[in-house]
Amino acid sequence: MIRVLVAEDSATARALLVSLLTAEPDMVVVGEAHTGLEAVEMAERLQPDLVTMDIQMPHLDGIEATRRIMTQSPRPILIVSSTAGHDVEQSLEAMRSGALMVIAKPGGAGTPTHDIDRRQLTTMVRALAQVKVVRRHGSFAQGIMPARATSALAGAEAARRLRGDTTPELVAIAASTGGPAALQAILSTLPARFPVPIFIVQHIARGFTAGLAHWLSGDAAVRVKLAELGEPARPGTVYIAPDDRHLGVRRDASGGLRVQLDNAIPVGTFRPSATYMFRSCAEHVGRGLIAVILTGMGDDGVEGLRSVKQSGGRILAQDEASSVIYGMPREAQRAGIVDQVLGITEMARCIRELAG
């Protein structure tokens, strides 16, 4: 049985969350916190398997409550947030304090998205309740089990082994659960004059992508923005797939790369889809592509990576120790198409070395 603590100051929203969770046969709500201070106290006293955390709460907001829980009584925290205004960036900021993922507050029984919201909430609770978190000290670190000890030169060595005679033209990165923190760890290390563009598909709840781009840009020297149809793909710029659009690439008449957005049917259940992005990049970039698959549930991206492999691109996968959910990278490894498995710090170094 998964034991959940619900922290939410709105009585209506709290009642809805409790009803959705307790309707599941494998979940029980062990406590309801009305304030951030209550959430911290109840997390330590009740020892739940997971905490759902609101951002806007009296006495102590969700960011500080998350920080204190991860310092005093660490456990998986799922931010359940409004997608209105400042709440989006504050929700993402909570990941810097140790939260694992953010989803939108579910709609009530009469709303069109109610069933989707219910499935998203319960699926995420099941997945994150299994994550082994650690006590946090300092401002930013992955709130997961520490990665294995590796040489400081491991990323550079991996790049040396993978470096071929083709100059990289594009980096394409896919991530899902746990992805925002992993992306931040990579992008924050890249120089402003990073020599190629970067495309990103991040599975995240609708309404959070613009905030994600702005949040990631706060620690990055490279430019981070939502992708726009037809714009040139420029070096030193990160293009994030917007809500409900596939992200791809095409060549213009001069041979340059341009952003392609598509509202074609979802691949599997995903739009944007990592498989769509990888296939498009493999077709138009080929050997000049560096494809990266990071932490996340499921197997989106794996079929697209087969195309990358066939076209001669290089494929990097995040390792289990540094992944919040070792789903997407594991499935890529099982398919036998990954060139190098790396921890997130090594990954950042390898991407810099390969591209540079």
**Do residues 254 and 175 both lie within one domain?**
yes
State whether 123 and 185 are in the same domain. Answer: no
Q: Which of 92-96, 133-137, 178-182 has the lowest mean pLDDT?
A: 133-137
pTM, full prediction: 0.91
- In this prediction, residues 90-119 reach a mean pLDDT of 89
pLDDT at 287 over 60: yes
347 and 278 belong to one structural domain: yes
**332 in a domain, yes or no?**
yes
Q: Provide the residue range defining the domain that includes 335.
A: 154-355
Catalytic residue among 87, 300, 307, 311: 300
Give yes or no for residue 302 having a pLDDT over 60. yes
pLDDT tens, residue by residue, 44-90: 999 999 999 999 999 899 999 999 999 999 999 999 988 777 788 88
- Residue 176 is a catalytic residue: yes
Place of tokens 């077709």: 283
Residue 142 lies in a domain: no
pLDDT band for position 154 (cuts 50, 70, 90): confident
- Asked if 91 and 160 sit in the same domain, the reply is no
CATH of the domain at 21: 3.40.50.2300
19 in any annotated domain: yes
How would residue 149 be classed by pLDDT, with cut points 50, 70 and 90?
very low
Whether residue 192 is found in the same domain as residue 119: no
**229 and 341, same domain (yes or no):** yes
Residue among 176, 273, 307, 322 flagged as catalytic: 176
Percent of the chain with pLDDT over 90: 79
Say if residue 145's pLDDT is above 50.
no
Co-location of 348 and 271 in the same domain: yes
Catalytic residue among 203, 273, 299, 307: 203
Residue that terminates a domain, selected from 113, 128, 143: 128
Residue finishing a domain among 128, 143, 177: 128
What band does 214 get if pLDDT is binned at 50, 70 and 90?
very high
- Looking at residue 153, what is its pLDDT? 60
pLDDT score at 137: 53
The yes-or-no verdict on residue 158 having pLDDT over 80 is no
Q: How many domains does the chain have?
A: 2
Is 300 annotated in the active site?
Answer: yes
Average pLDDT over residues 276-294: 97
Report, as an integer, the average pLDDT of 331-343.
96
Residue 124 shares a structural domain with residue 247: no
